Chain A
Amino acid sequence: MEPSSTEGGAEETLLKNHPPNLPHKVILKHGQELEEEQEELAEHQPLEQEDLNFERWKRRPLPERTLHQKIVDIKTYLWNAETKEFMGRSGKSWSLILLFYTALYVFLAAMFGGCMFCLMWSISPYHPTFNDRVMPPGMTMSPHLEGHEIAFNASDRKSWKKYTKSMDEYLRPYNDGAQEKKNIRCAQDRYFMQDDLEESTERKACQFKRSWLGDCSGLQDPHYGYSQGRPCVLLRMNRILGYLPGQGKPINVTCGVKKGPPEALGEIQFFPKSIFDLKYYPYYGKLRHVNYSAPVVAVRFAGVQYDTHIQVQCKLNGKGIINDSPTDRYLGSVTFSLDVGA
């Protein structure tokens, strides 16, 4: 659109007739340059020297905010003296929002509380809704201190004192006196069913006397054989509410060597016998079966070889009992190491 191109007759007549305006210039331009464009097309974009000054195109980094500015910003955020705002909210705004949340959470807490109330209301205090997780029963033993190792020297009182102490503790509820006072004597050889009673009535429990454990009762020998190198252990099956072990046939207990020379274990004695009597089952729960005493089987290793490290496993055997679970070593069995010295 160079105005230099104003020569030519046709343009001059036009100049007279019209004020100099833009479309007019178009004519001039087209008159002069159209043919050239025909040759070069309108697209030629001249490269300029300036185009090669690459430096000016490089992005200049934005100035970083200084630490001071940042601190000032945070300060204003925390307390803006101009607007009297704390963390971007005025006092009124804060109280509104806090009120809102209080109301919301009070409602939620009430809903949660209501749910808990409904839950407890719906659950029977006498028997759990489900007992699939606690079955089949596990097995525990005494003495049990942290681990399942029994290692002592018969002659060294100190080395076995802790075991006998633990067993004393374990057997205290089975003292004959206490049992006679609280529990009834049972003679039957079947489950002691008391389902026909009213639900909340306290259930009777059968006696299990400490004296029945003989050499392992700690009555004749307060050292449970530890001083003689013939230690006792006590075994008990975990209580499960309403569980009828063995389905009519009593569960019996066996012990054997799991690791170590098999002959090292020697003779094994069971007290009162190697079974859990049916009369002690079913268990009616803490609330109704207040004085329930779980039966104990005492095992006496009468001929254990000295100075040999052996692993002993005692198992429950019976219908419905699992004693070889790969994931739970205490399900229906208990394993302990035995290392007796002279």
Chain B
Amino acid sequence: MNLAICLLLQDDHEITIEELETRYNTSVTKGLTSTFASQVLERDGPNELKPPKGTPEYVKFARQLAGGLQCLMWVAAVICFIAFGIEVARGNVTAFDNLYLAITLISVVVVTGCFGYYQEFKSTNIIASFKNLVPQQAIVIRDGQKNQINAHQLVVGDLVEIKGGDRVPADIRIISGQACKVDNSSLTGESEPQSKTPECTHENPLETKNIAFFSTTCLEGVATGVIINTGDRTIIGRIASLASGVGNEKTPIAIEIEHFVDIIAGLAIFFGFTFFVVAMFIGYAFLEAMIFFMAIVVAYVPEGLLATVTVCLSLTAKRLARKNCVVKNLEAVETLGSTSVICSDKTGTLTQNRMTVAHLWFDNHVHAADTTEDQSGQSFDQSSETWRSLARVASLCNRATFRPDQEGVPIPKRLVVGDASETALLKFTELTVGNIMDYRNRFKKVVEVPFNSTNKFQLSIHELEDPLDLRYLLVMKGAPERILERCSTILIKGQELPLDEQWSEAFQTAYMDLGGLGERVLGFCHIYLNEKEFPRGYAFDPDEMNFTTSGLCFAGLISMIDPPRATVPDAVMKCRTAGIRVVMVTGDHPITARAIAANVGIISEGSETVEDIAQRKRIPVEQVNKRDARACVISGGQLKDMSSEELDDALRNHPEMVFARTSPQQKLIIVESCQRLGSIVAVTGDGVNDSPALKKADIGVAMGIAGSDAAKNAADMILLDDNFASIVTGVEQGRLIFDNLKKSIAYTLTKNIPELTPYLIYITVSVPLPLGCITILFIELATDIFPSVSLAYEKAESDIMHLKPRNPRQHRLVNEALAVYSYFQIGRCSFAGFTDYFTAMAQEGWYPLLCVGLRSQWENVHLQDVQDSYGQEWTFSQRLYQEYTCYTVFFVSIEICQISDVLIRKTRRLSVFQQGFFRSVKTHPKHASLGIMYLNSTQLVQWWFVPVPYGILIFVYDEIRKLGVRRYPGSWWDQELYY
């Protein structure tokens, strides 16, 4: 279907106006008839971007409530409700516990679900940003009448008028126009206005001048045109549907967590079902067995985990926001950490996005100008007479001016009226000469010939500063060759020397050098006009050029470039050491792209392209072994002719890649190729048509300043300062959070075993229940959240930016070693719980051996005189109270062990003593949780100390483990015990 539209579109700009009229049944003078227009509207629908038929909101919400863990919790809650119903019917006083449990479980599911839904909702309203581009009103001619109507009522064939300032209401074929210029930036990201005329200038509809696109802005002039596409069938409409259609790929961390949750849920069901069967076999009633099942699920599932992960990620996101990276999609934080390829834009991201004077050539020397953003660099020697002349030419032969009222603003940041080169020159002269406006006033401008494409130079004639000197000064700048052609002398150290072969060669060398740096070079010359020939009041005619324009005196060359940002070379270097490839994808010319790439280190020193090698060895390009070339520059034209296999090959063989002259759409192909090679790709972009690539990338990074709304919406992350270095900060944080999440999860998992074992013992040995479900939830959702979140603040153990990016297939978030170590080695602090539990029972009168098999009596509501080991008789409520005491005691034990646990989890390899105990201050909320326990049982202090030896044991054991891991890397110990 798309192809058909393309063909149609192609046709539309080439056919004659008469054919167009017949095709759309319209008239270029009267427009459509209203009746026909309404018929077409009926057929095609309104002229607006329709959001794609996505999943309905309630389905999305329901999906959030139906994840792996959530389903388990629902089942558990339902079992609780059933149990509650049955027990209430039996008149059991303790039944309300089940009700509370059910309510807690449901609220946990609902709250986390709402949170997840909100997250998803925030990151998917991409189509809304395209809506902002759509014009509201349009002037349409129907039945020969000019009307202003709502833009969404426009139909194909409508005759519309656009004028400066309007948004183009649809894709239109221009019928007539006057000086109409259109800003295509919303579509292509390039800000240079394109003129639109009725002539078909190109067979490609996107390049021809007689088609204006939906949502672009008309800057000046007026035009009339016939609508050829509306709504979703316009170019922008298709980009929009593509951008929203490229599915949200799951981020690596999401895959990790899903993988982990599946395992947990599977194990929970496995355990639950096993013990359900065991309980049934032992002879428990069906309902009781179901309650056991539920309790095991509650104990085993880490309810607080998702919240912990979310909080950890949002903390990092917050930290990143302070460093100018706004993360829209929380999971993107970690994705950035696993990034292995960054496809970066050049303009504005790697460079400062302002033309700046980089080099000057005068007195037969190349001088480097200061290109730093804050003018902190070295300046060149300005004592030469030649420099003074060159500066004068550069100052006078310049039409750019500063916008008024900017005295306080630093010169490089001031706004200027004028094109990029002139702006660069103006700022440069303002910085070196000073107060250019005043300077120009002193040299009164008599006449001026602006730049045009036939002359390829610009000149102006000025009176001199000295009122006694009645000569005129002619200053000229332009393309260096053209300028040189007109010169007969050259200024060297203030002396006018004849421009002989030698100087000409020197000029060529300099020009070549500067051009090789990818810089835009301009030549400057001047001449004092003969006083006699051109006396004061001489009528200079800019059209006739009735004055000397040859035999001038060459002053020098000035070259300009959009210089790299100061922080970028460092950042690229960091990426290199971190094993991340930086691929430059730009619309610029290959030479410029290559020069900048070399400048910032994307192409490292000594790296050669295939062409370089061919040239060095003086052999044809075909004979060069491609593997010898580290660097490679591919232009958009070449890319178009490459098959995807060839592109993959190129990416595989050349570590240093630059793509130049690419259309933003080609970015998508590059991204896809990188992903095919197994990389996690980050992409930067700013234009609307970057949005599909941003979406497709594992992590899309939009520019905060230069970026369009659509790009920002499609991206996962926004760089507020458009600076590449911020991405590197992001990578660092992303890697850190991966490590820290690992610690957090290890911490969270550890307590599942001590939570689970009480039930297992309860069912199999029939002791009074040591730990209740509510208590478990309290641990999961209240006391343990803070410490696990505090681990997110942990500093890196080693220089994470010296490691390779993690391989998502090998370095999992939760690996076997982590789970096994947490469950079976640190998780044994359940022994501490049982020690404490039996202590509490024994000290109140129930010896451990009596406890075994006591359950049926203990839980019998009708027995009010159950005897303990001393012959004392307990009522049911007294026993229940004792059971609650046991819960608390077990809880305290888990907490004490968890304090130890949070300390050991601070590091995976280093000793805690090396890392520092309280470097992450947030460990302290743990003590707050102890406070809560204290309120719970004021007289239980004696049982707080029972589990302490186990806590110390955990700590010592882990220190031994870490010591072994550090001492004997690669040993059995390291392999089995390092997670």
Contact = CB atoms under 8 A, between A and B. Distances in A.
Interface in A34-90: 34-55, 57-59
Interface in A234-282: 236, 238-241
Given A35-B456, A138-B875, A43 B838 contact: no
B640 A48 contact: yes
Contacts of A1: 590-591
A330 interface: yes
B110 to A, nearest CB: 31
A47 B663 contact: yes
Most A CB within 10 A of own CB, among B479, B611, B663, B882: B479
Interface in A130-167: 130-134, 137-140, 144, 146-147
Contact of B864 (A31, A35, A119, A330): A330
A29 interface: yes
B661 interface: yes
Contacts of B838: 116, 119
B664 interface: yes
Given A34-B521, A140-B864, A241 B871 contact: yes
Given A57-B668, A115-B835, A49 B843 contact: no
Contacts of B480: 30-31, 34
Contact of B190 (A24, A43, A129): A43
B769 to A, nearest CB: 16
B190 A22 contact: no
B663 A51 contact: yes
Interface in B679-724: 689, 692, 696
A48 B421 contact: no
Interface residue SS majority, chain A? mixed
B2 A55 contact: yes
Nearest to B885: A133
Interface string B866-882: 01111111111110011
A3 interface: no
A245 B611 CA distance: 105
B451 interface: yes
Nearest to A294: B873
Contact of B865 (A26, A132, A140): A140
Contact of B3 (A53, A123, A130): A53
A52 B871 contact: no
Interface in B177-201: 188-192
Nearest to B675: A59
Given A45-B188, A54-B2, A57-B668, A129 B843 contact: yes
Contacts of B238: 52, 54
B872 A52 contact: no
B976 A58 contact: no
Contact of A104 (B242, B451, B825): B825
Contacts of B521: 30, 34
A51 B192 CA distance: 20
A43 B872 contact: no
A48 B204 contact: yes
Interface in B575-591: 587-591
A186 interface: no
Contact of A59 (B246, B512, B876, B885): B246
Given A44-B190, A112-B835, A128-B872, A134 B2 contact: no
A89 to B, nearest CB: 10
Interface residue SS majority, chain B? helix
A333 to B, nearest CB: 11
Of the four ranges (under 10, 10 to 19, 20 to 34, 35 or more), the interface on chain A belongs to: 35 or more
B206 A238 contact: no
Contacts of B617: none
Given A29-B591, A30-B511, A52-B235, A286 B612 contact: no
Contacts of A289: 871
B61 interface: no
Interface in B217-253: 235, 238, 242, 245-247, 249
B615 interface: yes
Interface string B664-678: 111011001000000
A40 B591 CA distance: 17
B615 A22 contact: yes
A238 B6 contact: no
A90 to B, nearest CB: 12
Interface string B913-953: 00000000000000000000000000100000010011001
A283 B21 CA distance: 113
Nearest to A46: B207
A219 interface: no
Contacts of A238: 864-865, 872-875
B204 A133 contact: no
Contacts of A22: 516, 611-612, 615
Interface in B710-767: none
A309 interface: no
Contacts of B516: 22-23, 26
A116 B835 contact: yes
Most B CB within 10 A of own CB, among A26, A40, A50, A283: A26
A47 B209 CA distance: 13
A45 B481 contact: no
B848 interface: yes
Contact of A47 (B204, B481, B672): B204
Interface residues of B, number: 104
B439 interface: no
Given A26-B512, A27-B515, A37-B520, A46 B663 contact: yes
Interface in B381-422: 419-421
A35 B453 contact: yes
Contacts of A55: 2-3
Given A30-B521, A112-B834, A57 B246 contact: yes
B121 interface: no
A149 B180 CA distance: 100
B423 to A, nearest CB: 12
A41 B939 contact: no
B877 A330 contact: yes
Contacts of B848: 116, 119-120
A35 B477 CA distance: 11
Contacts of B696: 57, 59
Interface in B293-345: none
Interface stretch (A95-103, A177-185, A188-196): A95-103
B862 A140 contact: no
B876 to A, nearest CB: 7
Contacts of A128: 843-845, 868-870, 872
A139 to B, nearest CB: 8
Contact of A286 (B249, B615, B871): B871
Contacts of A218: none
Contacts of B618: 19
B842 interface: yes
Contacts of B10: 49
Contacts of B590: 1
A35 B3 CA distance: 37
A27 B512 contact: yes
Contacts of B615: 19, 21-22
A328 B878 contact: yes
B606 to A, nearest CB: 16
Nearest to B824: A101
Contacts of B873: 134, 137-138, 140, 238-240
Contacts of A39: 451, 453
A244 to B, nearest CB: 14
A138 to B, nearest CB: 3
Interface string B648-670: 00000000000001111110110
Given A47-B663, A47-B665, A140-B873, 6 more contacts: A22-B612, A53-B6, A59-B249, A119-B839, A128-B845, A241-B872
6 contacts: A43-B190, A48-B636, A53-B6, A108-B831, A140-B873, A239-B873
The 10 closest A-B pairs by CB, nearest first: A286-B871, A328-B877, A138-B875, A47-B206, A35-B456, A129-B843, A238-B873, A45-B587, A51-B665, A23-B516
